[in-house]
Structure 1
Amino acid sequence: MDDLSRFLADVHKEVLPETDGQVASYIPSLAQADPDPFGIALATVDGQLHTAGDSEISFSLQSISKPLTYALALMESGFEAVDAVVDVEPSGEAYNRISLENETGRPANALINAGAIASTSLLPSGGRMSRLLHFYGQLAGRRLHADAQIAMEELEGGHRNLAMAHLLHSFGKLADEPVQATRDYCAACATMVTTTDLAWIAATLANSGCHPGTGEQVIDPLVVQRLLSVMTMSGMYDEAGWWMVRVGLPGKSGVGGGIIAVAPGKLGLGVWSPRLNEHGSSVRGVRTCEIVSRELELHVMGSHRPPSEDGLSAPTAS
């Protein structure tokens, strides 16, 4: 076993006893999920994959789909068109809060539900889900599918999401009919992935949009720069501040129990465990990201260079 795999195994062993939190209850398929599985996967920008625990069990992408949809909208519709309907400001609110800018009617960012629905609507409605699944699959490095049962449950229980879509439509910030935009948003959330898929997705973002395994340039580097900036400010909703202090990486969580964290130029981390904290993020997932970031010295605000003789930080050889 190599050093990174041994390290992940140790982290898994350390975090496994933590059983705080509850599975998401508002979607029947998630409410019935086994709360105990726990997987970690780490993919480096040079194409190495390291895993620990239940890294090959499938679960739904949920809100981790939001930054990916936003990236596709930016590439296909352009920055100006997207910025006209979705802002890039941190909301500091829960993911499903009904809130739009008073004057413009724009959602604060693309990572809250209202912003994700608006981003979804910017993609052409004909073949939209096929295009999204193909794009998600390019990021993961394999073909993906959406679970029809979970998508239906999301839509049937998504009265608040439908309300947001109609409100966006009333402001002229929805490029599609509200029900269709909401249906496709729910289907995107129902995309099935593994922890390993999350690691490759995160590593592709860490590698300026080029998949480290396939070598395919999936996302334009400027789009990745925008995406990681928004994820840094807003990926963890109303715990974004604590996330940045403790983990210090662009990240995104989903109520399915998944989390991605991106160390630009270095690696992508994927974690999955269904028990959630009060903010809707995996308890074990957040803890794992804290440990990995600290032990591998990944915090984007950190300075980990040894001091030189004059007391100043000296660069290390790459």
Structure 2
Amino acid sequence: CDDCSCYDGVSCTDNVSPLSGVTCGACPAGLFKGDEKCIDNSTSINDYSITTSATSVTSNAATAAVTSNAATTSVTSNAATATVTSNAATTSVTSNAATAAVTSNAATTSVTSNVATATVTSNAATATVTSNAATTSVTSNAATATVTSNAATTSVTSDAATVAVTSNAATAAVTSNAATATVTSNAATTSVTSNAATAAVTSNAATATVTSNAATALTASNTITTSITSNAATATVTSNAATATVTSNAATTSVTSNAATATFTSNAATATVTSDAATATVTSNAATAAVTSDAATTSVTSNAATATVTSHAATTSVTSNA
């Protein structure tokens, strides 16, 4: 792009030829002056393109490792173990009959990296991780988990990159069928447990609890805790038979599941939401979900269990089908 090019967030187009003594015209609404660089509202790149590091891994019943721009993410499905490590946050997620642990140093997302998008899709377990300025949506037939990162303002929209993952009968990044999920982060911790599992989370100065089908989950966060999301982000989860969703401090969370249990909302469960200064909307069928957080702490439970979620200044909405 040159001074007389307009940038629409994807490519540059000529505006006015830079003739001698002629001033370039203004760009139309929504376009930016090139000035020898392309910009994505946060980063200047000299190669005239936006480069967002994205890595995707797919495994059937094995171990998948994903490494993004400034974060390493590993996810394990079917009876496996996944470990995720990002620039300022380490995340481990386990699905079907496994154990998941998430640990982040001072990050706002338990399963999010810095400026990269990592997506993992496996046949019987799906984990999705989004980066700093991106939003990830995951939809699977039997279980879906979606985690949004730091600077995302929409549950399915990000500034620089959008990642979508779809798996057939997968388990959510922080939700597994008969597994245990544990998340521990310095200033943000979240743990979610599903079908007959137990999740425990311990953070710097907070503690929350989430329980699923026949297990118990604990979640704790300091002032920016998201069960599976980061600060000021939005997490959305939609799945057919199992959904886990967690939102962070001042974000909005929506969960929808067909015949499953969502950490924040379960298909066959009753969701109860309590927030300090936020609006919480929960709709479910036959279970009990409770949410409680100190200043942005979210705990959720799934299938025939009890979920507790609390958010300080966040808006949480949950909707389930049957």
Q: Going by fraction, where is strand more abundant, 1 or 2?
A: 2
- Point out the structure with max Rg over C-alpha: 2
Q: TM-score, normalised by structure 2?
A: 0.26
